[in-house]
Amino acid sequence: MDKKALRLEIGALKKQLTAEQIETASAALARQLFAHPIYQKAQSIYGYLSYNQEVRTMAILEQAQKDGKRVAVPKVYGDRMEFLWLDDLTAVAPGAYDIPEPVADDPIADDETALILMPGLAFDQEGRRCGYGGGFYDKWLSQHPGHPLVALCYGFQMRDHLETDPHDVPVDVVLWEDIP
């Protein structure tokens, strides 16, 4: 299946999710993440502020701060993205594509070993991912390699095998939760 068809299929499935299904799956995925050594070793988390029917990340970011980890989230500037430290998780507003992002423009996050939570539309067990099509994460990661990468997704986002392009950066760990 090509990426365009996959994006349409997964997008349609996500639109069918209820708020309760999203919250239940998100809580289960947060527990999986917190129990994983990749999270426990991290001193900083570069997360994202979930949008539409994505796995909810706010509770993860809040817990990371309680666990003494620094938190950063992305902000888009034209065709590029930067991670910004975010001490106040309420200091956000709709930004590019109406996705929540920090209101401030600094400080730029600078932890070269931070754990990155990767959004995406589909994943496979080898860590290949199909993003939303903007290429922001792949571009950023090409300039900042070496970060541990984790994806959180619903079971229907998992595929047996995804075809990827040479510039697509795979994730190290994919955690998923089936929707009943």
130 marked among binding-site residues = yes
- Any known ligand binding at 154? no
The DSSP call for residue 5 is H
**Annotation-wise, does 5 bind a ligand?**
yes
pLDDT score, position 38: 97
Residue 44: its pLDDT value, please?
A: 98
ω into residue 107 within 30 of 0, thus cis? yes
CATH number at residue 99: 3.40.50.10420
- Whether residue 123 is annotated as binding a ligand: the answer is no
Q: How many domains is the chain partitioned into structurally?
A: 1
Confidence of residue 167 (pLDDT cuts 50, 70, 90): confident
**Residues spanned by the domain of 128:** 3-177
The H-assigned helical ranges of 54-124 are 58-66
Which tens digit of pLDDT belongs to each residue from 22-54? 999 999 999 999 999 999 999 999 999 999 999
pLDDT digits (tens, 9 = 90+) for 61-119: 999 999 999 999 999 999 999 999 999 999 999 998 889 999 998 899 999 999 999 99
Backbone angles phi, psi at 137, to 5 degrees: -65, -45
